């Protein structure tokens, strides 16, 4: 799920911090909106199922899955926008602020994998 980190965590970004923050907030807000739509679909699906409307429940369940995918995509975009400008490959520092737990764990794992593969003499000080 977090393979994209390998491609983006070490890229050099060029957007100012304020622009980046606004972009990240927009992506997180979009993710929150998709999460709310997902919850609503799940609740409606439960009601429909209890009322014997199984086709409607299935349709709502599928819609909830699509909302979940959109939510995850928006959160991944936010994580990319947080990590991309850090230049972690060059400076050897990773800032996890603004990342959700699973994003931070994946970024840390890939960061450590990258830096532990280099001989100590070639690491930044």
Instruction: Write out the DSSP string of 55-92.
Output: HHHHHHHHHHHHHHHHHHHHHHHHHHHHHGGG-HHHH-
Q: Could you tell me which of 118, 82, 106 has the C-alpha nearest to residue 5?
A: 106
Mean pLDDT of all residues belonging to the chain: 85
Q: Model confidence at 4, in pLDDT bands (50, 70, 90)?
A: low
**Cα-atom radius of gyration of the chain, to the nearest Å?**
19
Q: Model confidence at 118, in pLDDT bands (50, 70, 90)?
A: confident
What pLDDT score was predicted for residue 13? 46
| Per-residue pLDDT at 31 exceeds 50 | yes
Whole-prediction pTM = 0.75
């Amino acid at each position: 799920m977090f393979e994209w980190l390998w491609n983006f965590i070490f890229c050099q970004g060029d957007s100012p911090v304020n622009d980046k923050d606004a972009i990240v907030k927009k992506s997180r807000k979009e993710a929150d909106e998709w999460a709310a739509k997902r919850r609503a679909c799940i609740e409606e699906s439960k009601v429909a199922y209890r009322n014997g409307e199984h086709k409607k429940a299935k349709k709502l369940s599928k819609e909830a899955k699509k909302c979940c995918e959109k939510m995850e995509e928006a959160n991944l975009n936010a994580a990319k926008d947080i990590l991309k400008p850090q230049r972690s490959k060059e400076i050897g520092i990773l800032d996890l602020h603004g990342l959700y737990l699973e994003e931070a764990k994946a970024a840390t794992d890939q960061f450590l994998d990258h830096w532990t593969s280099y001989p100590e003499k070639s690491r930044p000080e």
